[in-house]
Every structure is written in structure tokens, then in C-alpha cells.
């Protein structure tokens, strides 16, 4: 299990997360919901050690990782797919994927078999520059790069944002398969409530850097959505 206990997180003097306590059960999908600017992305970056200061406790499978640097968290099994994908446009598809393999615990740098199973287009175009791919294909590439680290926990920041509609359902189905078939624990930041309800076992609703509601997905009521996500 991944667990946060009274976690505060900062960018410089800006205090973004306030006393966040959250349990992410192993091999489940936990959706993080809320309006823009409430701290959802900062929560994922805090889990990866990418903010300036963190207090409280973050525990992964019984080990406190609060003070560990990002590369050690990656080696412990956490992989991050950031908002906007952040692939390397001048690197080939293969080179982009292999960037994720640096976090593998066995030291091997290979394109994992699961990439071919989930993303046949990528394995058929390993020598193409990442920058010529469509937005949806780049999102697939960003997920493939994360999978190259052989993670057990996958952090996804709005993976369907800015994706052409015909690819959105494909990305959603892949995320569900990664949990159901590959057994990955998934923390999913998502604005699409319908997808969150379909994919997630649990949810956490955020407001002003705090978790204001959490529970199993069947407790994600229309009233909660209206109160904390309506513009």
C-alpha cells in the first residue's frame, strides 16, 4: 500500500498541500479529482519527490520514502506520467522508452514486452522521432516510457487531456488493463468523472490543497461532483 499521513508540500514559500492523508490500496485504481489548481498535480509530484519541501510521512509497502530522492522512489517501483506527456521530440520512440528503463532494478535497458502488447503502433515505429507522433501516440509513448521502469505503482496526470477523441477510449481501456491484467496500482488524476467512475475503485476529492472527501467509487455522488468540481 501507498499511504500519505499528514503530508504538507511546498514550492519555495508556497504552501500547496495541507495535511493530506490518503491510502492507496495495492492493485487498485485511486482517482484524484477536483477543480484546476487545487493541488492534484502537486500531489503526484510530492509522491515522486519533485517539490521543494515535504513534511509528514509517505510510506510505500511499509517503507517510509518521505526523505528519499526521486530516483530512489523510481527504483522502489513508482513511475510518473506527467501532464503534457513531456516526451523528448528529437529522440526516437525507442530512445524515449529506454529513458524509463534507467529506473529498472535489474539494470537492463530493454523495451518491455508489455509495450508491444498494449501499443503495437509504437513497436512498429521504434525508429521514428517522438516529435512526429500525434498527441494520442505521444501519450501512449509516455505511458510506455513509464512501463519500461517495471513499476508496481503508476501515477497518471490527466492522461486523456488534449487527446483526439478517437484515441481517448483506447487510452482509458489501456489504463484499466494495466490495473486489471498487469496488476499495477494506479493513482489517476482525472477531470473526466465518467471515466473515473468506470476505472477507479476509490476516489479522493481535493479542494485548496486538502482532501475533502474520499472513499469507494460508489460514494462519488453527483452532489460531491457538483460541490467540488462544478465551475
Burial (0-12, 13-18, 19+ Cβ within 10 Å), 103: buried
Q: What is the pLDDT of residue 13?
A: 95
- Separation between Cα atoms, residue 109 and residue 138, nearest integer Å: 20
CATH number at residue 54: 3.40.50.300
State which residues of the chain have pLDDT below 50.
none
SS3 (DSSP) at 179: helix
Strand partners, 185: 153
d(CA 148, CA 65): 22
Q: How far is 187 from 78, CA to CA, in rounded Å?
A: 10
Residue 147 in contact with residue 112, Cβ under 8 Å?
Answer: yes
Cα–Cα distance for residue pair 112/13, rounded to 1 Å: 41
Confidence at residue 165, expressed as pLDDT on a 0 to 100 scale:
86
Range of the domain at 59: 2-229
**Phi (first) and psi of residue 29, to 5 degrees:** -100, 125
Q: CA 196 to CA 186: how far, in whole Å?
A: 12
Distance CA 208, CA 138 (A): 31
Tally of structural domains, the chain: 1
All cell numbers assigned to 88: 523528448
Take residue 220 and report the three cell numbers written for it.
462519488
Q: According to the model, what pLDDT value does residue 84 have? A: 87
Number of Cα atoms under 13 Å in the Cβ half of residue 114: 21
Calpha distance 49→78 (Å, rounded): 11
Sheet strands side by side (includes 185-189): 78-81, 153-157, 185-189, 29-33, 202-207, 210-216
Amino acid at each position: 500500500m501507498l499511504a500519505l499521513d499528514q503530508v504538507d508540500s511546498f514550492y519555495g514559500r508556497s504552501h500547496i498541500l495541507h495535511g493530506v492523508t490518503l491510502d492507496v490500496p495495492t492493485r487498485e485504481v485511486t482517482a484524484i479529482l477536483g477543480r484546476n489548481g487545487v493541488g492534484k498535480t502537486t500531489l503526484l509530484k510530492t509522491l515522486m519527490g519533485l517539490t521543494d519541501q515535504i513534511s509528514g510521512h509517505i510510506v510505500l509497502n511499509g517503507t517510509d520514502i518521505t526523505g528519499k530522492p526521486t530516483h530512489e522512489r523510481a527504483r522502489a517501483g513508482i513511475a510518473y506520467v506527467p501532464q503534457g506527456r513531456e516526451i523528448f521530440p528529437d529522440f526516437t520512440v525507442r530512445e524515449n522508452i529506454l529513458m524509463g528503463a534507467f529506473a529498472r532494478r535489474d539494470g537492463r535497458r530493454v523495451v518491455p514486452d508489455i509495450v508491444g502488447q498494449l501499443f503495437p503502433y509504437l513497436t512498429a515505429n521504434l525508429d521514428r522521432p517522438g516529435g512526429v507522433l500525434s498527441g494520442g501516440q505521444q501519450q501512449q509513448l509516455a505511458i510506455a516510457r513509464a512501463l519500461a521502469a517495471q513499476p508496481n505503482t503508476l501515477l497518471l496526470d490527466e492522461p486523456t487531456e488534449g487527446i483526439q477523441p478517437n484515441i481517448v477510449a483506447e487510452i482509458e481501456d489501456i489504463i484499466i488493463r494495466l490495473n486489471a491484467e498487469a496488476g499495477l496500482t494506479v493513482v489517476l488524476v482525472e477531470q473526466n468523472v465518467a471515466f473515473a467512475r468506470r476505472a477507479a475503485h476509490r476516489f479522493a476529492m481535493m479542494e485548496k490543497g486538502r482532501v475533502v472527501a474520499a472513499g469507494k467509487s460508489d460514494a462519488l455522488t453527483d452532489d460531491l461532483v457538483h460541490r467540488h468540481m462544478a465551475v
